[in-house]
């Protein structure tokens, strides 16, 4: 799923223009509790909508923006977040905006009519997809060979806060990847694992940017005919990802900051 944010005085009108060009199922998340209106115009409507915030919470169960995105990821192609710029996703600014949002904007337009929709869609597609374990499992279940599958095996790597009780606590990790090469390497690993007898579909995903302690970092998902093939492919997949994919990790603890490859 591709996620993006739209902010500004004409965010709803700009989003409505974008929705007309996006091919697929779109979810809309609003984080202020009250859908905004552009000069009395109706809000833009997606296939699924969540409103989260202080005044009303979707489903009454205390959703936050990232919780709503997690719910959308398994069965939506896009998620648009309206009303916040505080996300690591492409930011489309439409109309009057705050200075901080203007500085961070990937695409900016003074009015919704002036929005370069083609450039906005390109920025959305250039960003790393928003994936969760659930979205990757859902993807392999949609495989053309799913009727031959008797097993789905997964691995989830997360940010470990500490190894022992007396260790310096890790606050967060920050990952950078060798653009293009990292993605191609992961696709190659997937293809080579899928060439094995009994392995039907493989999905690898590694987050980049800042990942807080306790959050998920990396996923390996394998669809296979039997559990033996699935377990072996999961283990080999995560081992090869760690060994072969050019990713660089910075660790920030309570007392220091360092690049792991330099310390090793």
Q: How confident is the model at residue 165 (pLDDT cuts 50, 70, 90)?
A: confident
Distance (Å, rounded) from C-alpha 164 to C-alpha 149? 40
Distance (Å, rounded) from C-alpha 144 to C-alpha 114? 42
Element (H, E) at 17: helix 11-19
Distance (Å, rounded) from C-alpha 147 to C-alpha 96? 52
pLDDT reading at 246 higher than 80: yes
Retrieve residue 224's tokens.
Answer: 């296979």
Q: How confident is the model at residue 83 (pLDDT cuts 50, 70, 90)?
A: confident
Question: What pLDDT, in 10s, does the model give residues 116-151?
Answer: 999 999 999 999 999 999 999 999 999 999 999 999
Q: Give the mean pLDDT of 68-78.
A: 92
- Radius of gyration over alpha carbons of the chain, in Å? 20
**CA dihedral (174, 189, 240, 162) positive or negative:** positive
Backbone angles phi, psi at 203, to 5 degrees: -130, 125
pLDDT reading at 261 higher than 80: no
User: What is residue 129's predicted lDDT score, i.e. its pLDDT?
Assistant: 93
Give one DSSP letter per residue of 54-93, joined into a string: SS--GGGS---HHHHHHHHGGG-SEEEEES---SSS-EEE
User: What is residue 156's predicted lDDT score, i.e. its pLDDT?
Assistant: 98
**CA dihedral (57, 85, 75, 233) positive or negative:** negative
pLDDT reading at 78 higher than 90: yes
Check if CATH label 3.40.50.1110 holds for domain 133-263. Answer: no
User: What is residue 39's predicted lDDT score, i.e. its pLDDT?
Assistant: 43
More confident residue, 105 or 38: 105
Question: What pLDDT, in 10s, does the model give residues 167-213?
Answer: 889 999 999 988 889 999 999 999 999 999 999 999 999 999 999 99
Average pLDDT, the chain: 87
User: What is residue 56's predicted lDDT score, i.e. its pLDDT?
Assistant: 35
pLDDT reading at 35 higher than 80: no
Left, alpha or beta for 226 (phi > 0: left; psi -120 to 50: alpha)? beta
Q: What angle do CA 155, 186, 85 make, to 5 degrees?
A: 80
More confident residue, 49 or 18: 18
Domain ranges of the chain: 2-126, 133-263
Q: Do residues 168 and 253 make contact, with C-beta atoms less than 8 angstroms apart?
A: yes
pLDDT reading at 55 higher than 50: no
209: nearest Cα among 238, 165, 248, 166:
248
């Amino acid at each position: 799923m591709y996620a993006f944010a739209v902010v500004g005085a004409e965010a709803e009108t700009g989003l409505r223009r974008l929705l007309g060009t996006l091919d697929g199922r779109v979810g809309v998340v609003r984080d202020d509790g009250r859908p905004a209106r552009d000069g009395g115009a109706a809000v833009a409507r997606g296939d699924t909508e969540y409103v989260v915030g202080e005044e009303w919470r979707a489903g009454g169960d205390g959703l936050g923006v990232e919780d709503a995105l997690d719910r959308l990821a398994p069965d939506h192609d896009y998620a648009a977040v309206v009303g916040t710029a505080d996300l690591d996703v492409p930011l489309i600014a439409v109309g009057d905006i705050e200075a901080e949002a203007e500085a961070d904007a990937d695409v900016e337009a003074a009015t919704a009519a002036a929005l370069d929709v083609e450039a906005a869609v390109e920025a959305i597609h250039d960003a790393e997809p928003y994936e969760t374990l659930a979205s990757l499992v859902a993807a392999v279940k949609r495989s053309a060979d799913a009727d031959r599958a008797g097993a789905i095996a997964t691995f989830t790597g997360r940010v470990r806060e500490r190894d022992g009780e007396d260790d310096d606590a890790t606050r967060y990790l920050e990952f950078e990847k060798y653009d293009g090469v990292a993605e191609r390497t992961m696709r190659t690993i997937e293809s080579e694992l899928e060439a094995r007898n009994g392995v039907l579909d493989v999905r690898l995903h590694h987050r980049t940017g800042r990942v807080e302690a306790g959050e998920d970092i990396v996923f390996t998902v394998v669809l296979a005919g039997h559990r033996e093939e699935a377990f072996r492919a999961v283990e080999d997949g995560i081992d090869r990802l760690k060994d072969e994919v050019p990713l660089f990790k910075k660790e920030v603890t309570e007392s220091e900051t360092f690049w792991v490859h330099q310390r090793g």
